[in-house]
């Protein structure tokens, strides 16, 4: 699935997502069209119930449209079978969640190695790549600490390293600073920004925190399942979205 620099890495074409039937029917997404190019850092924002989390699940191939098209590197995701979608997630996408989702009583290094086990990498190569990923997020020297021995910010760095270790084209981040204080939140955003700028990784982040959205290149603002507007943080948030 080669990336063409002229093709958006992510594209929605009139995407809808409907849950329930009859009077219980809910249009989580209502004709969403958007595109995200390779190397962008995009924040998806909006009030509760706006559809931003549904859009995020769609980007991560964790959900499918009711109608419309989702293209990844120009490929129609709906045309892929279950195994092909699993390979897309494994080889092209990395995930970072609000709750860290680390294995307890398991070292940072072993947590980061886990995705590489599924890729079939042997021990020495797997360990070298995991150590490199931990170094990139500033955790050199913390490789053998388990989550209980790490701060919240350090645990999220481990989670980012785990997302990074498979060399994804896109990192999907769902409220990555939601469980952190302001200082740690900014540190995590700086890590994501550096991965975006230095390694060229496309980042798609859902957040409700305006200060954190200020790290993005562009904000997609959603309301009632639709894209209401899109623009730079300064354009969408005014002075609150100043560049960090």
Q: What's the confidence (pLDDT) of residue 244?
A: 47
Cα distances (angstroms) measured from residue 119 to each of 91, 114, 167, 219: 9, 9, 12, 33
| pTM to 2 decimal places | 0.90
Question: What values do phi and psi take at 91, rounded to 5?
Answer: -100, -20
- Domain positions in the chain are 10-241
Q: What percent of the chain has pLDDT over 90?
A: 80
Helix (H, G, I), strand (E, B) or coil at 8: coil
Residues of the chain short of pLDDT 70, as ranges, are 1-6, 239-244
71 in Cβ contact with 77 (< 8 Å): yes
Residues 226 and 31: beta-carbon distance below 8 Å: yes
Class of domain 10-241: alpha beta
- Note the pLDDT tens digit of each residue in 95-121: 998 888 899 999 999 999 998 888 888
How high is the mean pLDDT of the chain? Answer: 91
pLDDT at 17: 96
């Amino acid at each position: 699935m080669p990336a063409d620099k002229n093709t958006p890495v992510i594209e929605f074409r009139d995407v809808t997502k409907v849950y329930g039937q009859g009077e219980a029917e809910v249009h989580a997404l209502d004709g969403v069209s958007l595109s995200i190019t390779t190397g962008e850092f995009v924040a998806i924002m909006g009030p509760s119930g706006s559809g931003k989390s549904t859009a995020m699940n769609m980007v991560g191939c964790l959900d499918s449209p009711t109608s419309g098209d989702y293209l990844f590197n120009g490929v129609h995701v709906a045309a892929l079978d279950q195994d092909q979608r699993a390979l897309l997630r494994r080889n092209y996408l990395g995930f970072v969640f609000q709750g860290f989702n680390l294995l307890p009583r398991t070292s940072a290094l072993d947590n980061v190695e886990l995705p590489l086990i599924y890729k079939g990498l042997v021990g020495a190569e797997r360990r070298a790549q995991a150590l490199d990923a931990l170094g990139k997020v500033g955790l050199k020297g913390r490789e053998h600490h388990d989550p209980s021995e790490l701060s919240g910010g350090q645990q999220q760095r481990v989670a980012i390293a785990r997302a990074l270790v498979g060399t994804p084209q896109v990192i999907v981040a769902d409220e990555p600073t939601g469980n952190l204080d302001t200082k740690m939140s900014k540190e995590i955003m700086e890590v994501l920004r550096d991965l975006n700028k230095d390694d060229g990784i496309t980042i798609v982040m859902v957040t409700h925190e305006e200060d954190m959205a200020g790290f993005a290149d562009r904000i997609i603002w959603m309301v009632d399942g639709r894209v209401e507007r899109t623009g730079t943080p300064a354009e969408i948030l005014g002075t609150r979205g100043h560049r960090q």
